[in-house]
Structure 1
């Protein structure tokens, strides 16, 4: 298991990878280490990076990007499957960007996903529930926005408190800056901070407010997931009680 510090993982070719295990959850339990990893773009993984993915026990990759964005440097190793939940396509690209694109880079988009595109959350949870034995990694491009939303849904379903979800979300900021510097991309830190400031709420407040009105199990059932799938995903995420 390649790790930098705490839950952060060192996968060569990625910059923003964390195991979501070990977080306090409902009923005195904790999220299960190795069950769920959040990450940025896996396309740049080197051979050593993919070896670290496999060594961590990951057997399923959930890619939240559109298929056209998939440009892997190397093929996935045998034994690691890929499923797609193309968030932008499910949201409806043109309408989504027209109405909510100005909030990109912040958790301000999460409530809009929940209200207008329930199939996004439902699809992510369905794939986690249906995945074969082994760990699941969820990723988009930067591992912050779409991945942040998917992680929020899954951690809330597991009974993780808003404060812990927000604290995890904030870890992506420094990692994103590191990635931008390494790849020669512009640093969006100030731009994102301005968006958040104009909203009148900090990122932590937004996560807390969204969490307070989100009954994950009821929402997913209403979105069409059977109770068995909701329960299977939750139990998969939790360490034995």
Structure 2
């Protein structure tokens, strides 16, 4: 059951929190961090689609982002937001936003169709050569979609066991935390978690993830997919 490998760091130029999870499946932080060389390296991996899980108003470049000449031929960069930016009632429940596996059940309850569509597009892109999932940090929305995908037996290598699920989630949390430590532009809401706080920080996140995985076996995940 599952594949006996941990997520592999991906060194596409400019990429932040980028990991190779399974054959044809990658995850990372916001795509605007990639340089043109990084986009070329991504394309060379056979990636057919970059599936962006952010809300439309988050999809923008900042002055500190590298110049971008365009997405390479053969690759599409597609927005498949799993939240509704106009859903004020939902967003008011979270401060500052859903940023923890404890919030995954809320997202799944509120936006099953959006999540199912993003899952389906990712699976199709994997079959076409490769998919990259990303959100902003590459941790929470990306973590949710990755965890759900890894429940499916049809994924290359079969369903993940709990050790692999933990390793994949931990990589995303650790990767963005490492970035926060040296980031030139501080995040408006999040800060680097120092070593003395790390174990507790990770443990309570993994405990919440376990509850989601127990509640969402493969058949329930599969039911999210569009028919």
- Give TM-score, length-normalised by structure 2: 0.78
Structure 1 unpaired stretches of 5+: 22-32, 227-241
Q: Pick one of 185, 188, 192 that aligns with 2:191.
A: 188
Is the Cα contact below 8 Å between 1:36 and 1:137 reproduced in 2? Answer: yes
State the shift of 1:103 in Å.
6.7
Structure 2 counterpart SS, 1:144:
coil
In 2: Cα distance, 1:168 partner to 1:84 partner: 23
Q: Pick one of 102, 110, 115 that aligns with 1:116.
A: 110
Map residues 206-221 of structure 1 onto 2, 5 A cutoff: 206-221=208-223
- Structure 1 match to 2:13: 12
Displaced runs of 4+ in structure 1, greater than 4 A?
Answer: none
CA RMSD of aligned residues (A): 2.9
Q: Cα 1:113–1:216, aligned 2, differ >3 Å: closer, same or farther?
A: farther
- Give TM-score, length-normalised by structure 1: 0.74
Q: Cα 1:44–1:224, aligned 2, differ >3 Å: closer, same or farther?
A: closer
Greater share of residues in helix:
1
Deviates more, 1:52-61 or 1:159-168: 159-168
Map residues 142-157 of structure 1 onto 2, 5 A cutoff: 142-157=137-152
In 2: Cα distance, 1:85 partner to 1:6 partner: 24
Matched, 1:128 2:122: yes
Structure 2 unpaired stretches of 5+: 1-5, 62-66, 154-158
